[in-house]
Structure 1
Amino acid sequence: MADVEAPIEPQARHVVYCGVCTLPPEYCEFGGTAKKCEEWLESNQPDLWTKLYSAEAVTANLSTLSVSAQERAAKDAAKKEAKAAQSEARDIERKAASKIYIKRVERNKRKHVTVIMGLEVFGMENKKIAKDLGKKFATGSSMTRAPSGAEEITVQGDVSEDVKEWLLDVHGDKVPEANIEFIEDKKKKKADAAAAGV
């Protein structure tokens, strides 16, 4: 009889992912944040940094390229970094100009709902926030689309002040207090409507 070899079990690999662009460090140059990635790698994975970015490794890699290819690679890297910096600056500017609106809407007589709009600009998931608010205030909470197409969260009850405090406590790192604005929305009473029509 022939000897039967035992099957070889595959070994698990440990892959390091960049803390800046979330790509493996070998591919950080394609992410657009190469300088930040290199700094992160140097502080968190010095052995891998030495393998990829040390003077010996860089000269060994560049020696295989022609002069024109080296120039193109340098220009491409500069363009990608400029684009990434520009988009980051636009995001910061957009966040600074954006507002989170907390609106108290009167439904009938003494019943109110609280509507929150503008959270998605700050990188928050409206469905998750709606679920968290429902648990926090032990009330109904849902994410819906407004007629304008924007997402909004509706929480039953007048919890507008509490929502602001909760947002600042839980998501204060993402949302500056200056960007939260209150809106009071009352239903017009029949008497007000009749007076306006006269």
Structure 2
Amino acid sequence: MATEECTLKPIHVTYDPITGVPSEFNEFLPKDCDEYKKWKAAEGGDLDAKLAEVKLDKNGKEIEKQLPGGKKKLKAKPEIVLERAVRNKKKAITTILGLDTFGVKLSDASKIFGKKFASGAAITKSPMEKDQIDVQGDFLDKAAELIVKTWGKEKGISKKDIYYIDNKRKVPYFHEGDEEADS
């Protein structure tokens, strides 16, 4: 038996300081892991991609999404939607959705509604995953007046921003004549 000498030399691997794996493996990391996110952020591609995604229409408004066929979907204007839901024949729940789009803190608003109407008021998630206020009782009319009175001047909520659900259709709560009468 002859003794042969091994002439293998060690391979020198450089590890990425952000992810801790060799640099050529960074793109194969799972997309939801923290190391991948840090690597993408440090790479600078995310910021440039986000800035490139923001598009403006002719009027300078931000376009939310480009639909198939070249149609443009604009961002929705802020609005408040009131809804009355009947449960157990005589019981009702008034739902107020969209106050947060005007910058109103929902926790403070639910306390105001609860004290004003002497009933329970809670913040819940809507089926569209948006926060809404549920008030126990039928306070649709009083809630609309309270919203305009409390946050009208402070947050810029006008009567034309308030809608209610009637027969599964969104209808303006105040008529056009009501706006001029109160101004």
TM-score by length of 2: 0.48
| Bigger helix share | 1
| Bigger strand share | 2
TM-score by length of 1: 0.44
